């Protein structure tokens, strides 16, 4: 029943969280809101370093927009887990409660009445509905406030992403230990998952081993299919590195030498991924980076083989904003972190994808992954 799985050593210095709370309050006020309510999840971890889990009992961070001291409403039996966060060091007010007490009324007592309150998208309806009753009005979504907070990474976050990228690169460098004909996707995935932890992650968040026709399914995970000579195999892997920032990197492998057609099409994919990376710089739009990859593939007749967006933001969540996709006109700024991962997929035959995480810099971008991008023959 512990509310946290990470120790205080697995978080940033207190000053980092203090600055985030100040910015959260200012952005909440700028949005015309009176308070921000955050339950366990990536947003709570971002703001106070807490890895608390969401249970039926309410844990809620209350951030007043007027700059007053934030408070945490928490079940008494979860206090020990909260102690592993930065809450005590930040001097936040802690209001614990026991079964039989109404925690929603407790949250309401900390807020102005009437007032406009915002909640994170991930707050369960289990809590949103009774909070609405306690507040006298339904809260609004805090999407804009939280997006503005988390989308641009600070120096500490970028360093964590560098460490995560280096850790997953070390796993890809070892792929020849496990990936070969005669083994099942599931057996290879089990070895990869163990290596992800060995190389510095706290867990393997996901492992995709898409061999042969399974590589044509971008979201295939693993199966009992036996890998065969001549297969093209997509390996998409990642996980969190303390204090919770994620890696995500895809490379494509060939069991034996690829055919001329596979090699030609993969070379086009490699050019597309490079074009998208080269397009990243402050001031360009997210959709223009997507277009840079898509245009290369369209130029060689592979437009229909690229069936998903070019990338997604990454940080405490594997998928977060900004999304590198057609229609997203947001302008990139230094500190944004996201994947560049075009792919080509031929149903019933094979697929391929190349993925790096990049961070926007003052004049371009810094890749978090440095493994070779070519089709690696094993």
Query: Tell me: the pLDDT tens digits for 129-172?
Result: 999 999 888 999 999 999 999 999 999 999 999 999 999 999 99
* Residue 58 near residue 103, CB atoms below 8 Å: yes
Q: pLDDT for 283-308, tens place per residue?
A: 999 999 999 999 999 999 999 999 99
In order of start, what are the domains of the chain with their CATH numbers? 8-149 (3.40.350.10), 155-377 (3.90.230.10)
- Please write the tens of the pLDDT for every residue from 221-246: 999 999 999 999 999 999 999 999 99
Block residue for tokens 């070969």:
180
Angle between helices 14-30 and 143-150 (to 10 degrees): 140
Write the pLDDT tens digit of every residue in 359-368.
999 999 999 9
Burial 191-222 (b: 16+ CB within 10 A, else e): bbbebbeebbbbebbbbbbbbbbbbbebebeb
Q: Is the pLDDT score of 5 beyond 90? A: no
Strand pairing of 343-346 and 376-377?
unpaired
Q: Measure the CA–CA gap between 213 and 211, rounded to whole angstroms.
A: 6
> CB–CB of 266/352 below 8 Å?
yes
Q: How confident is the model at residue 114 (pLDDT cuts 50, 70, 90)?
A: low
pLDDT for the residue 160: 97
Please, what is the end-to-end C-alpha distance for the chain in angstroms?
Answer: 45
Which pLDDT does position 106 carry in this prediction?
Answer: 96
Reported pTM: 0.93
């Amino acid at each position: 029943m512990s509310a946290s799985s990470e120790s205080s050593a697995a978080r940033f210095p207190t000053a980092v969280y203090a600055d985030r709370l100040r910015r959260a309050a200012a952005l909440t006020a700028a949005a015309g809101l009176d308070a921000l309510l955050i339950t366990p999840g990536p947003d709570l971890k971002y703001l106070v370093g807490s890895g608390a889990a969401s249970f039926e009992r309410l844990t809620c961070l209350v951030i007043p927009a007027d700059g007053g001291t934030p408070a945490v409403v928490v079940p008494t039996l979860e206090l020990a887990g909260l102690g592993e966060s930065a809450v005590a060091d930040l001097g936040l007010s802690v209001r614990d409660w026991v079964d039989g007490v109404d925690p929603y009324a407790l949250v309401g007592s900390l807020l102005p009445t009437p007032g406009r309150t915002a909640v994170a998208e991930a707050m369960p309806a289990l809590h949103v509905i009774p909070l609405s009753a306690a507040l006298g009005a339904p809260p609004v979504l805090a999407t804009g406030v939280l997006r503005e907070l988390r989308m641009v990474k600070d120096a500490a976050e970028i360093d964590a992403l560098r460490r995560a990228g280096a850790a997953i690169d070390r796993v890809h460098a070892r792929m020849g230990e496990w990936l070969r004909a005669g083994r099942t996707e599931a057996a290879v995935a089990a070895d990869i998952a163990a290596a992800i932890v060995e190389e510095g992650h706290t867990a393997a968040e996901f492992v995709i081993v898409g061999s042969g026709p399974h590589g044509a399914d971008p979201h295939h995970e693993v199966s009992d299919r036996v890998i065969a000579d001549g297969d093209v195999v997509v390996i998409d892997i990642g996980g969190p590195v303390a204090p919770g920032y994620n890696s995500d990197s895809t490379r494509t492998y060939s069991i034996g030498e690829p055919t001329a057609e596979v090699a030609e099409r993969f070379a086009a994919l490699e050019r597309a991924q490079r074009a998208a990376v080269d397009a990243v710089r402050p001031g360009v739009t997210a959709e223009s980076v997507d277009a840079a990859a898509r245009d290369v593939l369209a130029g060689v007749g592979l437009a229909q083989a690229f069936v998903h967006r070019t990338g997604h933001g990454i940080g405490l969540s594997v998928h977060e904003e900004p999304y590198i996709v057609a229609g997203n006109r947001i302008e990139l700024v230094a500190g944004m972190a996201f994947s560049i991962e075009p792919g080509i997929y031929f149903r019933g035959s094979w697929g391929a994808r190349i993925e790096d995480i990049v961070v926007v810099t003052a004049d371009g971008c810094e890749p978090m992954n440095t493994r070779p991008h070519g089709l690696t023959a094993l």
